[in-house]
Amino acid sequence: MEFITGKHMPRRTFVRGMGATVALPFLEAMIPAGRIWSSANEDALPTRLVAIEMVHGAAGCNEWGATQNLWSPEEVGRDFDLTPTSLSSLEPFRDYLTIISNTDVRMAEAFQPYEIGGDHFRSSAVFLTQSHPKQTEGSDVYVGTSLDQLYAQRFGQDTPIPSMQLCIENINQSGGCAYGYTCVYTDSISWASPTEPLPVIRDPRVAFDQLFGAGGTVEERALRRRTNKSILDWITGRVAQLRRELGPNDIQRLDRYLDNVREIERRIQRIEAQNMSGESRDLPEAPAGVPDSFEEHTRLMFDLQALAFSSDVTRVFSLKMGRDSSARVFAESGTDRPFHPASHHGGREEAILDFAKINRYHVSMLPYFLEKLQSIQEGDTHLLDKTMIIYGSPMADGNLHNHRRAPLFVAGGANGRLEGGLHLKTPDGTPMANAMLSLAHALGMDDMADFGDSTGELSLSMPASTLTSAGS
């Protein structure tokens, strides 16, 4: 699309009303006068980053499960078959998929005899820091600065919210931590510094209000909540004025964006009404805005992230999809075994396959998000081209509590820095930190010399001459 714009609206434009502030999506009117659409893309916003942790490892990281390719495919390179793997639901997006297999997270292992047994309670803190946590039950926590926060500190400071941390499961379970580790380690994956864990948001209502409902006085926001009105009701006049200043393409984009904001808001309101109706809940301890359904909850969080990216409210999210030692049952996966007990399969083939069903189910949440990002146009491309999504676990074989051959893949184009359609199998003993270092470089942090226990950079575009089958 090649045309020259006539007027220029600031990229970060907000529509404000009583108790509400809504950022606008990218519009043609935001391209400086005299610039063409395609050249505006040269000044593209930094890559959006989502880091997703799933606990308990994967069935394909067990020795037998690896032979069955229950996590990563057998073939290395581009001609890989996802069918037997837990990643099979990602087939429609294989051109945006980079699988990195056979990396180790040794910083999550016990360094001293008195740390043995504490794998569940330090692992989450290691995933994005690739650093070994200090064993403590007090406030003197210490691990490392997480990758998402290093990125937010460099590329997220000119957005209203530098980063946001979300979770799906309850992280406030008293007595849930042991072996001398404070619950901060298992509750947090984002660390602003080695001593500063960042809180996570479980309630979609809280996340929505932070992203789209801020502004005004406390009294005005309280009134809006009491009346159960949409935030859009408070900005109707300004939106009508704005539409008169926009071209037809921008009006269409704006209307679609506001419709999406309102649709998410309605879903949250419907969930709150149902959960406050007095009916029994599957999650009686959860806030009213949290759906009982894992899939509905996850989709809401993905929708919020997509909208936030489209309006550039923030460029960085972390999402903790599970909690260590979780006993949640995912009946939709095809097994009624609780999550943590399922990971302790005892090496039995039937039980390993059962655990693989849960892994497959969790990964199957991702295509919804990828499709959503692909549907949002920004400049002459879409948001999936401009996003990096890291999905993995700091644990490998949950039955043994080990951290060798840990699961990891990356989705999205990262503004052209990821080729996609690639399975990379690293040599035995390669730290996952090498992959994280390379991803940091792909995010634009090219001056980072090391990260965690990295021993060097990992190529994300393997030369064709070196591509061999995993079994060779």
In angstroms, the CA 22 to CA 250 distance is 16
Q: Where are the domains of the chain?
A: 1-43+205-289, 47-202+314-466
| pTM, entire model | 0.93
What is the average pLDDT across 354-371?
98
Q: CA-CA distance, 42 to 455, in Å (whole number)?
A: 33
- Amino acid identity of residue 158, one-letter, is D
Strand locations in 296-444 (E): 316-320, 377-378, 381-382, 387-392, 408-411, 422-431
For residue 154, pLDDT over 60 is answered with yes
pLDDT of residue 170: 85
Q: Which residues contact 97 (CB under 8 A, 6 or more apart)?
A: 87, 90, 409, 410, 411, 420, 421, 422
Predicted local confidence at residue 222, as pLDDT = 65
CATH 3.40.720 fits 47-202+314-466, yes or no: yes
Strand 422-431: give its sheet, edge to edge.
164-167, 316-320, 48-53, 387-392, 408-411, 97-104, 422-431
Q: Say how many residues make up the chain.
A: 472
Rounded to an integer, the average pLDDT of 54-67 is 96
Q: What is the pLDDT of residues 206-256, one digit of tens each?
A: 999 899 876 656 666 666 666 667 888 888 888 888 899 899 999 999 999
pLDDT at 175: 46
Q: Per-residue pLDDT tens for 178-220?
A: 899 999 999 999 999 999 999 999 999 999 989 987 665 666 6
The residues with which 167 forms a beta bridge, in sequence order, are: 320
Burial class for 65, CB neighbours closer than 10 Å (0-12, 13-18, 19+) = buried
Q: What is the mean pLDDT of residues 455-471?
A: 67
Q: What is the mean pLDDT of the chain?
A: 90
